[in-house]
Amino acid sequence: MRGAGGVDQSRRLGFRAAEIDPLVLTPVPVVLDGRFEVATPAGRGIVPIHVTRDWSVPRPDVTRAVVVIHGWPRRDLASADNAAIKAGAAAEHTIVVTPQFLIAADIEAHHLPGDMLHWGRDGWKTGYDAHGPAPISSFSVIDTIFTRLADRRLFPSLKQVVLAGHSAGGQYVQRYAAVGRGDAPLLAHGIAIRTW
């Protein structure tokens, strides 16, 4: 973890890279039980996902969607749901979507099928292509989620989408905001997008 000018960011933040690597490279204790297919010209693959409402049927009550990107260890998967609960009444009209980006160690430890997308240790947070089963950018996952949310047959009342992340997920969101292209379907339907 080196920043501009060769400054070792891990030392500046008060921890050593040796303390981070074991956690980052250790298989996740839980793989989300939902599945979401991502199809691009490069191929197809599946990502684990958690969605707070059934989004395979029309949801006219939903006016806001929050897509939350986890941190580097890929374990902090409940923060979005907790935030929605604290939001109270606003949560009644909100759908929370949390994809989980896996690495090879997760696939092996949980004996996941060969169609499960997985990235290198840092690849998912920088938008790199998956190592398998197809070279699909991690940004394509959000593109595909945005396309689903832009479907007016499913979400006729959707007014706002928030893409949020914390820790490495925050880095992912910043990068996606700068170079991502998946917002076009949302904007075409007058759906506002915020990043956080």
pLDDT in tens, 87-146: 554 578 999 999 999 999 999 999 999 999 999 988 999 999 999 999 999 999 999 999
**Is residue 20 assigned to a domain?**
no
> Do residues 97 and 125 lie in contact, with contact meaning Cβ atoms separated by under 8 Å?
no
Mean pLDDT for the chain?
A: 84
Return the pLDDT at 85.
55
**Is residue 88 assigned to a domain?**
yes
- Which is more confidently placed, 28 or 25? 28
**Is residue 5 assigned to a domain?**
no
Reduced to 3 states, what is the DSSP secondary structure of residue 193? strand
Domain coverage including residue 38: 28-195
Return the pLDDT at 65.
94
Return the pLDDT at 70.
86
**Is residue 156 assigned to a domain?**
yes
Provide the number of structural domains found in the chain.
1
**Is residue 12 assigned to a domain?**
no
**Is residue 111 assigned to a domain?**
yes
Average pLDDT, integer, range 11-36:
68
Strand ordering across the sheet containing 94-99: 34-40, 43-51, 94-99, 64-69, 160-165, 192-195
- Which is more confidently placed, 42 or 5? 42
**Is residue 134 assigned to a domain?**
yes
pLDDT, tens digit, 9 for 90 and up, residues 58-67: 999 999 999 9
Tokens of 36: 């979401």
Return the pLDDT at 38.
98
How far apart CA 37 and CA 114 sit, in angstroms, is 13
Confidence of residue 49 (pLDDT cuts 50, 70, 90): very high
Return the pLDDT at 13.
40
How far apart CA 34 and CA 151 sit, in angstroms, is 20
